[in-house]
Structure 1
Amino acid sequence: METPAVSLLVAVYNTETYIKTCLESLRNQTVDNIEIIVVNDGSADASPDIAEEYAKNDNRFRVIHQENQGLGAVRNKGIEAARGDFIAFIDSDDWIEPDYCERMLQAAGDETDLVICNYAAEFEDTGKTMLSDIAETYQWQPKEHYIKALFEGKVRGFSWNKLYRRSMIEAHRLSFPLRGELEHVEDQFFSFRAHFFARSVSYVKAPLYHYRIHLSSIVQRYQKKLFESGLALYEANAAFLQENNKMEEYRKELDTFIVLHSSICMLNEWKTSGSGRLFEKLRNVGVICADPVFQESLSKTGTAPFDAKRSCLLLMAKYRMIPFVAMASAVYQRVIEYKMRNRG
C-alpha cells in the first residue's frame, strides 16, 4: 500500500453544523495521495454519522470513535493512526483551501520538518475576515525568534495551519498532554516542542487555513482552571528548557509568558459566558495576584513588554489591589468581546 503524503487529522466533538464544510474541503484536495483520519471524541450529535458517510464513499477517510477524553487524547489518537509522511491537524469547524496539501508539501521539500501557512480568521457572527501575516513576519528569521514570539504571545500556539514531518514527531516522541495535565494549553505545549526540534521551518504566505471564530468556540468560552493550566505549562516548559540547556536563552520570554497568561486569566473571570458568583470571581483574581510565580516573573519583566491597558492592570495586580484589578479586568474583557463581535 502506498504511503500517503499527508495524514489530515480531524478532531471532532459536536460540530454537526460545520463538519460537512470541513470534510468537503479535505475531500477536494488537489493532492490525491492523502489519508483523512477523523477522531470522534464522544460526540452526542450527528457529527459521527456525517463522518461515517464520508468514509463509506471515499476510502481515504477513516473514522475512529472514542469516549470523550479531550483534545489532547484526540490528537494523540490521530498521530498513532497516521501513516503519512507528514501530519496536519484540522479542527472540524474549520476548513482548508483546495491546494492546502499541495502548497504545503511544495514548501516542505526534502529537508523541512515544519511548514507554517498564513490563515484567515473567519468571524461567523459578522461575516468578516482577518488575515494573519505570520509568513511575512518570520520567514527570514531564525526559528528561535518564532519560539520567543510564541512565549510572548505575539503568535498563537495553534497546532493547525502547520504541516509536521511525521518522522520528527516519532523521533522526539512528541505528543499532546492529556485532560487533567495541561488542559486548555495542549496546542501551545506541542507547538513549542515541534518548533524546538524542527531542523528547519518553511512558510507559505497564502492563507490556506480558515479558522472559524464563533461564540460557541472553545477559545471564546469561560475556561475553568485556566490559570492552573498556564502555571503547569510554564513549569513544564521551564523543565524542558533546563533539560536541553536553553533556559538562559529563553528565560526572559518565559517570564513574559506567565505574566501575560496571568493577565489573560484575570480577564477570563469576566467573560460573559462565565457563571461564577461575584465573590468567586474576586477570589480567583486574588489567587492569581498572590501567586509567587506570577509576582516573581512580573518583578523581572516589569510592564514594558505590554500595552498601556495591560500595563495598568498588571501594576494594580502587582500591589494586589484586588477590587481595582477586578473592575479593570471586567471592563477590559467587555471591550475585547465588543471588538471581537465587530471585528473586520
Structure 2
Amino acid sequence: MPFVTLIIPIYNAERYLRRCLDSVVEQTYADMEVLLMNDGSTDGSLAICREYEEKDLRFRTIDKENTGVSDTRNQAMLLARGTYLQFLDSDDWLTPDATESLAEAARADDCDLVVADFYRVNGKRYVEKKHIKKTHVMTREEFAMEMAEDPADFYYGVMWNKLYRKSILLEHQIQCDTSMNWCEDFVLNLQMIRHAERFRALQKPIYYYMKRKGSLVSTEAVSTEAVKVKFELLEKYRDLYQSIGLYEEHKLKINSYILAVAKDGAAGVMTPKSKKLSPENVIPDKEKPGYQHVEHTFEPVYDENSEILILGTFPSVKSRENNFYYGHPQNRFWKLIAGLTKEPVPETIEEKKALLLKHHIAIWDVVQSCDIIGSSDSSIKNVVPADIAKILKESSVQRIYANGDKAYRLYKKYCEKETGKKAEKLPSTSPANAIFTLDRLTESWGAEIFGRTEENESVKGTV
C-alpha cells in the first residue's frame, strides 16, 4: 500500500491541468498514488488525465458524473489506499519536494496532521505565506493556540497545504460538507483538529496557490452575505475551543473571525518581497467574452392547474445548451423542488415537467431576450421582458416567486405593473449563491411557498 494518496478533483480544467500534473510527475517521492478525479468534465480534461496515467504508474484516473468538488473529494477518500491523504486543486501546482517533505515529517514524528507554508500567486509574481514557527511536535492544544492568533487564515482553513492521517478521517466520518460551496474545507479541518493528537508545521512552502478572478473564494469571501455563513462557522470554532478548554482564554480572538475575511496571504497588490514566476508557469486568465444578444428559446412550463409561478432571470449558458431550465449541474433548483415535494430528483426534461405540473408549479424567466456576457446576470442589458401575463391568463396562478434578487428586481421593473401582482423574493438556487446551502434553501423556500396559504396581494397604485 502507498504511504500517501494525492487527491486531485478535476472539472473543466484543461487550461491549467498540464501545469498541475507536470508538478506531480516531478515529485521526488515514490511511495504514493495519485487519484485524478474527473468530475464530469465537458472539456479535454479527461483525455489529459488518461495521457498522464499512461506516463506515470502512480496515476489512476477515476471518471465520474459531476457531483461537485466536496463530494468528489469524499469519494476519493474512500477509494484512497494511502495511509495519509494529500490534496491538490487542478489549477494550482506543487514544489518538487512537496509530498516528500510532508510524508517524511509525518513518518518521523508519527503525526496525525502536517501543515506547511505555501506561495500565493498573483499574475506573474508570487509571495510566501507562512504562520507557525514552532518546529517540534505540537499537541492539539498547542496547535489550537496557534490557530487562535488568526482563525480566518487560509493557512489553517484550506486542505491543500496539509497531510492527513486517513484513519482518523474514516474513523470519525470526517468529510467535506456537500451542502456548502464555500468554507467546507474550514469545517473539515475543525473536525480533524478535534480528533487529531500530534501536529507538525513545516517552515517551507510546498504549494503554489493561484486565486483566479471570478472564483467562489474571490467573490464569496468578501461579500456581506458571507457573514451569515461565518456566524455558523463561528459556532463550530467555539465548540472546538470549548471542548479543549481554551475558549475563555481566546474568545476575543475567536470571535474576531466574524470581522475578518478569509485571508489567503495577499491583500491586493504583491509586496516588495514577491518574486517572479518562471515563464512556463504563467498562464493568464482568459479574457471575458464580449456581449451577445441572446433570445430565450424554450417555452414556459405550466397548465391550467398551475397555482404558483417561479421566475428565474435568464437561462445560463448550460441551460441554453440543454434547452431547459436550471441546466447547470451545481444549480440546486431541481434537488430543492424534489425535496420540498418529497419526490425523486428528476433527470430528464419530461420528468422535470411532470414533477412541476403534478404539484401545480409553473416556471419561466423574466427576460425574453437581452444582451449578456456568458451566464452573468449582472451583465444583462437591453432587456425585452417575457409576457408573464400570458401565463396568468391561461392558468390558476395566484402567487409569483422570484428565484434570486436579480429576477426579483427585473420583474418589479418590467412586469409588475402589467401583471398587477407582486412577486416574493426567494434566495437564489444558483451555485454562485454559496452562502445558502441546500438545507437553508429548503428552509427558506419551504416556509415561503408551502408554508403560506394567502394569495399574492394585487398591486395597488402606481409602481
**Shared topology, TM-score over 0.5?**
yes
Cα distance per residue 1:40-94 (max 9 Å; x no partner) = 2222211122112212333321222333322211211111111111110100111
Alignment of 1:283-302 (within 5 A): none
**Distance verdict in 2 for CA 1:21–1:238, change over 3 Å:** same
Alignment of 1:150-299 (within 5 A): 150-153=150-153, 155-178=155-178, 180=179, 182-222=180-220, 226-238=226-238, 248=248, 251-260=251-260, 275=378
The letter of the residue matching 2:127 is M
1:230 CA drift (Å): 2.6
Aligned counterparts of 1:220 and 1:152: Cα–Cα separation in 2: 14
Q: CA RMSD in A?
A: 3.0
The letter of the residue matching 1:60 is R
Higher mean alpha-carbon deviation, 158-167 vs 148-157, is at 148-157
Alignment of 1:28-43 (within 5 A): 28-43=26-41
**Distance verdict in 2 for CA 1:104–1:229, change over 3 Å:** same
Tell whether the 8 Å contact from 1:122 to 1:130 is kept in structure 2 after alignment: yes
The letter of the residue matching 1:115 is V
Aligned counterparts of 1:230 and 1:104: Cα–Cα separation in 2: 30
Aligned counterparts of 2:153 and 2:97: Cα–Cα separation in 1: 29
**Distance verdict in 2 for CA 1:69–1:23, change over 3 Å:** same
The letter of the residue matching 2:201 is Y
- Partner residue in 2 for 1:118: 117
Aligned counterparts of 1:76 and 1:157: Cα–Cα separation in 2: 17
Cα distance per residue 1:240-278 (max 9 Å; x no partner) = 66667765455434422233359xxxxxxxxxx99376x
Aligned counterparts of 1:192 and 1:62: Cα–Cα separation in 2: 29
Cα distance per residue 1:290-324 (max 9 Å; x no partner) = xxxxxxxxxxxxxxxxxxxxxxxxxxxxxxxxxxx
**Distance verdict in 2 for CA 1:48–1:146, change over 3 Å:** farther
- Partner residue in 2 for 1:287: none
Aligned counterparts of 1:146 and 1:274: Cα–Cα separation in 2: 42
1:146 CA drift (Å): 2.7
Aligned counterparts of 2:149 and 2:160: Cα–Cα separation in 1: 17
1:222 CA drift (Å): 4.8
**Distance verdict in 2 for CA 1:135–1:260, change over 3 Å:** closer
Partner of 1:18, secondary structure, is helix
Q: What TM-score do the two structures reach when normalised by structure 1?
A: 0.67
**Distance verdict in 2 for CA 1:249–1:75, change over 3 Å:** farther
Q: Does 1:44 align with 2:42?
A: yes
1:187 CA drift (Å): 1.0
How many equivalent pairs are there? 264
**Distance verdict in 2 for CA 1:206–1:50, change over 3 Å:** same
Partner of 2:217, secondary structure, is coil
Query: Which has the larger Rg?
Result: 2
Choose between structure 1 and 2 for higher RCO, CA contacts under 8 A separated by at least 6 residues. 1
Higher mean alpha-carbon deviation, 50-59 vs 85-94, is at 50-59
**Distance verdict in 2 for CA 1:274–1:207, change over 3 Å:** farther
Partner of 1:134, secondary structure, is coil
Higher mean alpha-carbon deviation, 87-96 vs 153-162, is at 153-162
- Partner residue in 1 for 2:130: 133
Aligned counterparts of 1:245 and 1:208: Cα–Cα separation in 2: 33
Cα distance per residue 1:12-53 (max 9 Å; x no partner) = 122111111111111221111210001122222111221122
The letter of the residue matching 1:169 is L
Aligned counterparts of 2:120 and 2:10: Cα–Cα separation in 1: 19
- Partner residue in 2 for 1:326: none
**Structure 1 alignment gaps of length 5 or more:** 263-272, 284-344
**Distance verdict in 2 for CA 1:243–1:199, change over 3 Å:** closer
**Distance verdict in 2 for CA 1:249–1:66, change over 3 Å:** farther
**Distance verdict in 2 for CA 1:238–1:135, change over 3 Å:** closer
The letter of the residue matching 1:29 is Q
Tell whether the 8 Å contact from 2:70 to 2:176 is kept in structure 1 after alignment: yes
- Partner residue in 2 for 1:23: 21
Aligned counterparts of 1:159 and 1:166: Cα–Cα separation in 2: 13
- Partner residue in 2 for 1:9: 7
Partner of 1:159, secondary structure, is coil
**Distance verdict in 2 for CA 1:239–1:207, change over 3 Å:** closer
Tell whether the 8 Å contact from 1:120 to 1:209 is kept in structure 2 after alignment: yes
Cα distance per residue 1:145-194 (max 9 Å; x no partner) = 2331353548451111111111222232211111x3x3201111112222
Aligned counterparts of 2:226 and 2:62: Cα–Cα separation in 1: 29
Aligned counterparts of 2:91 and 2:377: Cα–Cα separation in 1: 23
Cα distance per residue 1:190-225 (max 9 Å; x no partner) = 122223322121122221111123224432235786
Aligned counterparts of 1:274 and 1:234: Cα–Cα separation in 2: 31
Aligned sequence identity (%): 29
Aligned counterparts of 1:190 and 1:161: Cα–Cα separation in 2: 14
- Partner residue in 2 for 1:80: 78
Partner of 1:91, secondary structure, is coil
Tell whether the 8 Å contact from 2:156 to 2:189 is kept in structure 1 after alignment: no
Partner of 2:85, secondary structure, is strand
Tell whether the 8 Å contact from 1:150 to 1:157 is kept in structure 2 after alignment: no
Partner of 2:258, secondary structure, is helix
Q: What TM-score do the two structures reach when normalised by structure 2?
A: 0.51
Tell whether the 8 Å contact from 1:89 to 1:159 is kept in structure 2 after alignment: yes
Partner of 2:157, secondary structure, is coil
In proportion to residue count, which structure has more helix? 1
Alignment of 1:299-338 (within 5 A): none
Aligned counterparts of 1:177 and 1:150: Cα–Cα separation in 2: 23
Tell whether the 8 Å contact from 1:152 to 1:253 is kept in structure 2 after alignment: no
